[in-house]
Each structure stands twice: as C-alpha cells, then as structure tokens.
Chains A and B, each alone.
Chain A
C-alpha cells in the first residue's frame, strides 16, 4: 500500500533504514539476561597480589573469602575513584577520602551529594586493613567488605541504591570485563554489589604505610634523626620519660603498636556531661546499646595525623596542637572517661596528675609530625586511575 504514495526506490531505502533502526533499537533493549556467557571470551587468569608493607608491620590480614588479586585491586581502585557510585555521578568514595589527605577530606564533617553534612569526620584509611574491631567511628561495620556497601545507600553520602549502581555497571563499556578478570563471572548479569564491595576492600587493603616516616627511621635505629623536642615528645607519647624528668603522655595506651591505633573505643574526655545520656553523639552505644559506651569512639591511627586535620570524630580541632592540648588538661572526670585521660603529667599524689605543660604539649605535637609518611600518599598505585 505504501508503494502507492512513495515514489520509485525511495520506499525501499526507507524500508531498509527502518529495519536497521529497529534491529539497533532491539539490540539496545537487550538486557544482560538475554546474553548469558557474554564474558566467557575474556580471559580469567587472576594473579595473586602481594601487599607491600614495612618489614616490622604484622602480616596484613586478608580474609580467605576474598583473596587479593592484581585484577581485584585494579577493579577496586577504579570503583573507589569512580563517581558512578553516586546517584548523580558527582561523588565517589575518594571524594571524602582524598589520597593527599591520607584518605580523609580535611572537613570537620563530610558532605554528601545533596550538600547535606554528615555527623562525623571521614576517617583515615591508612592501614585500615589492620582494623579488626569494627570500622567507622562507632564500629558499626565488621569488615571492609561490609563497610564498602554502606556509603552508596547512605542518603547523606552517595544517596544511591545498589540496584541502580549495578545496572549502570552492567552496561558500562569496561566494568563487565574488569569484573570478569577479577572474579571470573561469565556474564555481566553476575555483577553484584558483593563483588563490587570485595574489589573495593581489596584496594583498601593495600593502603599500607610505606615505612619511610621519620618515626620509622628512628625505630630502625637511626636515633639521631629526632631533634630534642621530637625525642621528648616520643618519650612522653610512650610513657618512657620518667628517667629524664618528662611526664607521661599516656598516648600509646589508646594508639599503640606500630600502626598506632588501639582498635578499641574510648571516651577520650572531649565533653563535660552530667549524665552519659547527654552526649550529643552517642558513638559506640549506637552499636552495642551498652549505656557505658555513650560518647565512646574508635581510636584512629595516628600515622599521617598531621595530614588529616581537622581532628576528632566531629572535627572540632583545627590543629594538632589543639587536639593534643585538650588531652593534656586531663578531661572532665565523666564517669566513662578512659582512665588514662586523667593520668597525664607527673604524679602529684593520691592518684592525681599534673597535666601537661605548654612545652610538653608542643613536644608531643612535634613527635606526631614525625609520623608523616609522604611516600604513602604519593604512592602511584593508590592514586586516581581516571
């Protein structure tokens, strides 16, 4: 019938074009389910990834359910830096965890895609592989694989849904192949949030100190590397200064070991409250429901602390000296305040302590600056791959 009003060969040409358009449109409408085994042609030969760490650091814990591979780390690194995880493709994990800030964002509290401020400061991811007693300030996530799932769907952070992220990853030009190479999936429909989280966890496990900070040099025996003030600070930090008339800083009790974190939760004496229920941020209590955990937070690593201002869970202190100064005043005596908060300085009898002088606070601050590890933040393997 059409031939009656379309002259000559024009009808045939239009018909062919229509057919081509229809075929193309149908192909675009194909769902991954229509193409089982679409990734089989891509080689799956994962190579074990050896995490580089300082010799004196403990072995990096890696769960048997998520072995480290070169391909897994590569995928995790891309996901970590890719704003595809947020609803409007404006923010990624790296927006709040900047490598040059030792994977913090220099804000008192982080701000999500809608411009809404969160409650807490972003935590450094340096040596996060060693955190074994809950992630986040309150420990609400048991491991990196579980943690990586949370910011995507947090309405204040990336404000997305995993189904939405997964649907974008499935039709992405490169991600299906990367998932295939990392996890051996045979078709793009097998991409899951759990695999995405595993990959990001693998990337986060390589965020390990270089071992080249001034403090590390000192630990290796180069004791002349510290000036007098730094050495005094170190002695107070580790409570080793009594013989040279230095007070105890008591710092290492909560920031111990070579990673300088305790993996435990403390009321570190920031606020004076009449009752524990008056803490504005309940901290660890929100996870345990133990009333004595109100106002307690996980002690973060102090490595690269000079690069990760502002300080505390709410970013209340702009400088390291302010943060140290707060500790040197021996807290407020709140009932669940950690016992070491009240023990800084020289003993003055009856279990009382003098607190720290201005010099002592400054010396501890100077020591903390020796924990700076520029080689870590400049490591090319952990930078934005885009």
Chain B
C-alpha cells in the first residue's frame, strides 16, 4: 500500500511543471532619433554653431535591454535590437520611429531600464552567420570583417564649416569593437500594465555633438572615427555621449 502511494506521489510530482510559465503582457517601446528635441530628418540643414550640417545615416545596435525592479530583480526583455532610423525606402526624409513590441513582459512598476549600446561582447565574438535569418545580428552589412566586430553605431552626414553653401565636409562616425560597448542605466518609473501605453526611447543627436563642457564637437578636426581597431578614441567619445543623449519617455 505504501509502495503504491509512493508510486502515485512520484507520478504526480513528475507531472508538476518545474517552472511556472512566464505570464506577461505585450510591452511597446518606440524608438526615435531627434535633433535638439525634434524628430530627425535626413538631408535637412541643422545649425552646428555657426555652420550648417545634415545627416544621411543613423543606425545602431542595442543589447540586453533590461527592466529593473525596485527589489533588485531584473527582467531582460531583449538580447539584441537593430535600429535603422534612416532607411532608404521612402519618399520622406523624416527619420522613422521603429516600434518594437516585447512579449510576455511581467506587469508591474519598474524603477528603471538598463540598455547596452552596441552588441554585447558575447554576441560580438560571433558573426552574422551564427544567427538565424531575420534576426538583428544576422545583418551582415553592419558587420565589419576587418574588426571582427559589428558596427555598433553609424552616424554619417555632411557639413559646411566654411559656410560657402557647399557641404563638402563629410563626416562618418562608425563605432564598433568591444572597448566601446557601453551599458547605461536610466532610472525612470516604468509602468508595465495592460492598457497602459509603452515607453519611448529617444536619442538626441545634437547631444552626441556636444562636449561635456557644453561646447560643440569640432567636426573638421575629427571628421571620422578611426579605422584602426587600436584607436577607438573618437568612437568611444560618441558611444559615451549616448548616456546623455538618451531619454526615456513615458
């Protein structure tokens, strides 16, 4: 009889799921590129101090996007995302605002969000062929064979520093490789609840061109990030400025 009871008990415990299924809701995050607070527009003149500049490309990778609970708990909602704000597919030069819906996010009030800017070192040690078709890290055109690294952020444009009406100064900041990967935490109350709108994450490019002391970045002196994997100074500067350039919008 005891044996029978034990067998039944063992059978029942074997049927028990080891983990509770994750229950949660869809959580929308809308990403937006801005210049001085207004939505970025390709090929539009913006003033950089005394001279105009324009942007033609802005795209970036994000990694390990994680919601932070008050009790120290964490909910990672994405391992990797690719954002192209300036795709060459539409009649409009207005940048696009990619909206990503993260599934099964536990409801609750969170105290902040942590974002990796670029591709985390584990994934950056791999290459596009290691990832499934259609996933962000499968995009091989933003993988730099020479560096064996993804290009974390692309920011390209033209400027007219001598104000002669011709934008003949091209600038290109292509930031990549593990040393310039950044992780920043943004302490904002984030409400994840059914019927509650998601959040926005905005990147103000003007702040990428603003130095810590408030002066403007000298584009003619450094019109491009270095192509040497051993010289990440300019790339590091731009990636670091993402901390200030990023805003969480409720």
Contact = CB atoms under 8 A, between A and B. Distances in A.
Interface stretch (B103-111, B126-134, B239-247): B126-134
Contacts of A78: none
Nearest to B128: A58
Interface stretch (A39-47, A170-178, A251-259): A251-259
A263 B141 contact: yes
A244 to B, nearest CB: 11
Interface in A12-57: 55-57
A202 interface: no
B223 to A, nearest CB: 4
A53 B217 CA distance: 45
Contact of A262 (B56, B141, B144, B168): B141
B170 A238 contact: no
Contact of B90 (A252, A261, A263, A290): A290
B92 A290 contact: yes
A349 to B, nearest CB: 8
A257 B89 contact: no
Contacts of A242: 226-228
A240 interface: yes
Given A239-B146, A339-B157, A292 B93 contact: yes
A226 to B, nearest CB: 14
A315 B236 CA distance: 42
B36 interface: no
B229 to A, nearest CB: 8
A157 interface: no
A284 B87 CA distance: 13
A333 B168 contact: yes
Interface residues of B, number: 44
A248 B227 contact: yes
Given A59-B133, A243-B228, A292-B93, A350 B88 contact: no
A342 interface: yes
A351 interface: yes
Interface in B74-109: 88-93
B145 interface: yes
A340 interface: yes
Nearest to B140: A257
A133 interface: yes
Given A290-B92, A339-B171, A257 B128 contact: yes
Contact of A290 (B93, B129, B133): B93
A351 B223 contact: yes
Interface string A308-337: 000000000000000000000000010110
Interface of B: 42-43, 56, 88-93, 127-129, 131-134, 138, 140-146, 156-159, 161, 166-172, 174, 219-220, 223-224, 226-228
Interchain residue pairs A-B with the least CB separation, the first 5: A257-B140, A339-B170, A351-B169, A239-B227, A238-B146
Interface of A: 55-62, 130, 133-134, 139, 219, 238-240, 242-243, 248, 252-253, 256-259, 261-265, 284, 288-290, 292-293, 296, 333, 335-336, 338-340, 342-343, 347, 350-351
18 contacts: A58-B128, A58-B133, A242-B226, A242-B227, A242-B228, A243-B228, A252-B146, A257-B141, A261-B141, A262-B141, A290-B92, A290-B93, A333-B166, A339-B156, A340-B172, A342-B170, A343-B172, A351-B161
